[in-house]
Amino acid sequence: MALVPPLSLTFTVRRCKPELVAPAKPTPKEIKQLSDIDDQEGLRFIVPLIHIYPNEPSMSGKDPVKIIRQALAQTLVWYYPFAGRLREGSDRKLMVDCTGEGVLFVEADADVRLDEFGDTLQPPFPPLLYDVAGSQAIVDSPLLVIQVTRLKCAGFIFAMCVNHIMTDATGIVQFLNAFAEMARGAKEPSNTPVWCRDLLSARNPPRVTCNHREYEEVSDYTNSNDNEMVQKSFFFGPIEIAAIRRLVPPNLKKCTKFEVITACLWCCLTKALQVNPEEDVRMMYVINARARLNPPLPIGYYGNVFAYPAAITSAEKLNKNPFGYTVELIKKVKDEVSNEYMHSLADFMVSKGRPLFTTVRSFIVSDVTRAGLKEVNFGWGKAVYAGVAKTGAGDFHSITFFNSYRNTKGEEGTIIPISLPAKAMMRFVKELDDMLENQNQPLMNGQYPKFSTSKL
């Protein structure tokens, strides 16, 4: 179901000057090495997250900005690498210089109530995270940027940009839970952070023992004039999932919701982008490998511990075969990630110069619905929305995050933001509509909220 934002809404966000928040106590000044899973080219980007909290009567009179700023300083005592800066050494190897400089923090106020946004809280959101000059850089820049925006209703919006080199979804939630514990009065996190990034560094000498086709070099012969990118969010609830499952053959009935949604997206995206029949298309599926490592990583490890193996087939086969063919490809690729696969991947990164994953006719999906983002409680209870603020964009490259969501009917489901060229998006909506048997109608008509910003 394509989600449409509320009717036109105008509001102003007034921001204070960004400040650096340093650890509340002195922390070690040292260089910390990242793993060879951490510093690959494909993770050298900033992840924008947003948490939206309604008014909580028990917190009446308490300022979320003050509480969160103070808790941040306390949390950085334990997670002090976040207060440092990335440096690049020989062979493009990144490391963390634990300088204690701090992370960027922005205090803000918006002249709008949460209920004015309507019932459809979904990405892309208005930019309620200040784009501080230079803060999107990977090296020699703050590793976190946080903005807390008070709303007129006494609710607030917590927005954060985090450098993906430092952590994955599991690690982000671990950090945020520690952060939230401090905001609720704890003196130390219940889960002590562990660095130990050498556990996922390349072996000596490197031994690439697995196929890593997600990094293959592929030629792109596309000459598209459709450069206008648009983003829409799509809701997959019980009705939509049931419609897709009707296409799954009996021998695959035990497939997961994530698998069937991914298969559905892959089919619809390939048709929408009008890929030539003989060309290969890739669906890269982010797999959390923590449970697949032997010996297991220590509790509290917050580095990147995932891979995105690629399911590959031709556009013609994807378009002409029954839906079960696509589901089987996705189920099969999930089984590729093992303990040896992860160590082979680290070796591959060192051997091949930390390459970028294949972006030509490729899609990446990541399921963060079970990461625990909505459970992060700074004292105001659970967030009414928690997840990525926007998705990646590109002619054939899309990083799509699955977020937990409850629609206006009270149905629990998954919301998926997708960026595509404008004409391709129109075709995608039609393809998805056809697959779901015309059940994915927009919730309402409207436009994205309009807003202005000013400095205090």
Tell me the per-residue pLDDT of 318-345, one tens digit each, with 9 for 90 and over. 999 999 999 999 999 888 899 999 999 9
* Residues contacting residue 68 through CB under 8 Å, at least 6 positions apart: 146, 148, 158, 179, 183, 378
Residues 22-35, mean pLDDT to the nearest whole number: 98
Q: What's the predicted TM-score (pTM) here?
A: 0.89
CA quadruple 419, 243, 333, 291: dihedral positive or negative? positive
Q: CB within 8 A of 188, min separation 6: which ones?
A: 78
Of 366, 391, 208, 396, the closest CA to residue 284 belongs to 366
Q: What's the whole-number mean pLDDT along residues 433-438?
A: 81
Tell me how far apart the alpha carbons of residues 146 and 75 are, in angstroms, rounded to a whole number: 13
What is the tens place of the pLDDT at every residue in 156-214? 999 999 999 999 999 999 999 999 999 999 999 999 999 999 999 999 999 999 999 99
pLDDT averaged over every residue in the chain: 86
What DSSP string runs through 307-334?
Answer: E--EEEEEHHHHHHS-HHHHHHHHHHHH
What is the per-residue pLDDT for 374?
87
- In angstroms, rounded to a whole number, what is the distance separating the alpha carbons of residues 149 and 159? 8
Which H or E element spans position 179? helix 169-183
In order of 102, 142, 175, 316, the CA distances from 99 in angstroms are 8, 11, 19, 53
Residue of 364 and 102 predicted with greater confidence: 102
Residue 224 has pLDDT above 70, yes or no: no
